[in-house]
Amino acid sequence: MSKGKILLVGFGPGAKEHMSGRAIEAINEADVVIGYTTYIKLVEDQLEGKVVIKKGMTEEIDRCIEAYEQAQEGKVVALISSGDIGVYGMAGPTFEVLLKSGWTPDSDINVEVIPGSTALSACASLVGAPLTHDFCSISLSDLLTPWPVISRRLEAAARSDFVVALYNPKSGRRTGQIVEAQRILLQHRKPETPVAIVKSAYREAQNIQIVRLDEMKDCKIGMLTTVLVGNSSTFLEQGLMITPRGYANKYSSITGDIKEGEKRGRSLTMGLDGWQECAREYMQAALTQDKKPSLRDVMAYFDMPLGQVLTAIASASEEDPSGEYKAVPVKSDLLQLIQEDAAEWGKIRTVVRNTAGAITELMLNASDFKLRGEWLNIENEHFHLHIHWHKVASAWMLERGDSLRSVHFADDKGDSVFNISLLKTDGEFTAAVLSHYEQIWQRQVNAAESD
């Protein structure tokens, strides 16, 4: 018996001219074509003389098993899928079925995956160039994926300013998912963010709506729709939805001169190596503008966690200062610093923030901190403060002109766990306390130098 073959064919959005040459060839080569009823209709003109097996929407695993069985009989089987067969398509389940059945890539049955243009690129091509910068796709189908997973992905994509392509946005039964997606996206995007709703791209029933994000949920959206949600720089002009490639960061206009400080073919001044210098410049420039950006202002401006901003401050030098800020990473034992060193500082201010923005500010003695298992606790008749000490991964000492002497404790992501700062009496730090703080600071500087 001749060897069987499984061709996993992505035939693109639907129109013949958007099928790849290899996809056409593969369907021609097949003895048997298996697919969802709607997909079979889309390639009907290529099916003469072939065994055609149509399956319903919910019979996906049946389609894979059928393909394997036919290939075991020596047939060339084309399993077809719209778009790219590897994108929310049949390639994954087919390999899963094959591997479970003991098939290996070296076995008699050859498997070829034939890529196609996926819905997001097909839909994008019809509305301009919305995917020219970082983007991601999220399927809103909760048939096989728990909603908390989808919701977390939407939140992460929205927060990270990705252009988002929403697959499977809505069906007869699944109508609430797009409403919830809009709610989550609006927490991080402007209401006027451009959104393209493309139905049946490159098929007879093609329909395009360009709307604002806050209008999305009320639009006509169905099973054959892909929704493209712009990011913070996506704009609409002449009916086209464009996400800039980022040239404006480097050039004064798209065809213009390179901006001062930038270099062709090199990372931006705000690139990996340069952004910390920009952060210091920002803090330094604030001095001349008589502004006093707080640490949180700097974090918000650069959208970077506390640990990264403190690292930028700690890397300052005389030629490249950070405005009023100076910092040094704590190299000594962190528990010793809080329980022994800071205990010399008398009353200190301890600040703990929760992620929703509530701030706890306590005036207390560091000597009151007691480690109980994983927790650094302060308990008295008025309050119980429990700091999850195992979360603390690093600390920085920070000073700001004459106004601030503090220590910031961060977790392994660089997010703040808590901070303590010296208190002033009659507008001044106590000389002995200040001198002790400076000794501890010098200990960190010496340790950093001998590293």
Smallest separation (angstroms) from ligand SAM to the CB of 209: 12
The residue within the footprint of ligand SAM, chosen from 177, 225, 322, 421 (CB under 6 A), is 225
Contact 7, 76 (CB under 8 A): yes
The residue within the footprint of ligand SAM, chosen from 111, 119, 228, 348 (CB under 6 A), is 119
Contact 328, 445 (CB under 8 A): yes
Kindly state the tokens that stand for 381. Answer: 């008749």
- Nearer to ligand SAM among residue 4 and residue 115 (C-beta): 115
- In this structure, are strands 404-410 and 394-400 parallel, antiparallel, or unpaired? antiparallel
- Nearer to ligand SAM among residue 84 and residue 262 (C-beta): 84
Q: Would you give the binding string for ligand SAM spanning residues 71-100, x where CB under 6 A is met?
A: ----------xxxx--xxx-----------
As a whole number of angstroms, the distance between CA 227 and CA 220 comes to 11
CA 98 to chain centre: 33
- Nearer to ligand SAM among residue 88 and residue 325 (C-beta): 88
Phi, psi of 78 (to 5 degrees): -105, 120
Binding range to ligand SAM, per CB under 6 A, among 56-64, 184-192, 222-230, 268-276: 222-230
Contact 241, 128 (CB under 8 A): yes
> By CB under 6 A, what part of segment 289-348 binds ligand SAM?
none
Phi, psi of 348 (to 5 degrees): -125, 160
Binding range to ligand SAM, per CB under 6 A, among 197-205, 289-297, 323-331, 352-360: 197-205
DSSP type of residue 391: G
- Nearer to ligand SAM among residue 132 and residue 206 (C-beta): 206
- Nearer to ligand SAM among residue 225 and residue 416 (C-beta): 225
- Nearer to ligand SAM among residue 197 and residue 283 (C-beta): 197
Smallest separation (angstroms) from ligand SAM to the CB of 118: 3
From 85, 94, 93, select the one nearest 117 (Cα to Cα). Answer: 85
Binding range to ligand SAM, per CB under 6 A, among 151-159, 198-206, 304-312, 349-357: 198-206
From 340, 328, 314, select the one nearest 445 (Cα to Cα). Answer: 328
Query: What is the dihedral angle through the alpha carbons of 179, 182, 187, 188, rounded to the nearest 10 degrees?
Result: 160
Smallest separation (angstroms) from ligand SAM to the CB of 177: 11
From 265, 276, 264, 399, select the one nearest 327 (Cα to Cα). Answer: 399
Smallest separation (angstroms) from ligand SAM to the CB of 201: 4
As a whole number of angstroms, the distance between CA 59 and CA 65 comes to 10
- Nearer to ligand SAM among residue 177 and residue 226 (C-beta): 226
The residue within the footprint of ligand SAM, chosen from 201, 338, 348, 387 (CB under 6 A), is 201
- Nearer to ligand SAM among residue 153 and residue 203 (C-beta): 203
Question: What order of strands is seen across the sheet that includes strand 384-388?
Answer: 370-372, 375-379, 384-388
Question: Does 39 participate in binding ligand SAM (rule CB under 6 A)?
Answer: no
Binding range to ligand SAM, per CB under 6 A, among 199-207, 256-264, 273-281, 438-446: 199-207
Kindly state the tokens that stand for 130. Answer: 């919305």
Kindly give the residue spans of alpha helices, DSSP state H, lying in 128-173.
147-159
Question: Does 200 participate in binding ligand SAM (rule CB under 6 A)?
Answer: yes
Question: Does 123 participate in binding ligand SAM (rule CB under 6 A)?
Answer: yes
**Residue of this chain nearest to ligand SAM (CB atom):** 83
DSSP type of residue 130: T
As a whole number of angstroms, the distance between CA 404 and CA 270 comes to 28
Contact 299, 408 (CB under 8 A): no
> By CB under 6 A, what part of segment 124-183 binds ligand SAM?
167-168
The residue within the footprint of ligand SAM, chosen from 13, 115, 128, 230 (CB under 6 A), is 13
Contact 110, 68 (CB under 8 A): no
Question: Does 118 participate in binding ligand SAM (rule CB under 6 A)?
Answer: yes
Q: How many other C-beta atoms are found inside a 10 Å radius of the C-beta of residue 316?
A: 20
Smallest separation (angstroms) from ligand SAM to the CB of 9: 11
Please name the helix (run of DSSP H) or strand (run of DSSP E) that holds residue 367, with its range, or none. none
Question: Does 121 participate in binding ligand SAM (rule CB under 6 A)?
Answer: no
- Nearer to ligand SAM among residue 74 and residue 92 (C-beta): 92
381: burial class by Cβ within 10 Å (0-12, 13-18, 19+)? exposed
Question: Does 14 participate in binding ligand SAM (rule CB under 6 A)?
Answer: yes
Question: Does 195 participate in binding ligand SAM (rule CB under 6 A)?
Answer: no
CA 30 to chain centre: 41
Smallest separation (angstroms) from ligand SAM to the CB of 139: 7
Question: Does 224 participate in binding ligand SAM (rule CB under 6 A)?
Answer: yes
Question: Does 369 participate in binding ligand SAM (rule CB under 6 A)?
Answer: no
Kindly state the tokens that stand for 98. Answer: 């094959």
Point out which residues bind ligand SAM (CB under 6 A). 13-14, 81-84, 87-89, 118-119, 122-123, 167-168, 198, 200-203, 223-226
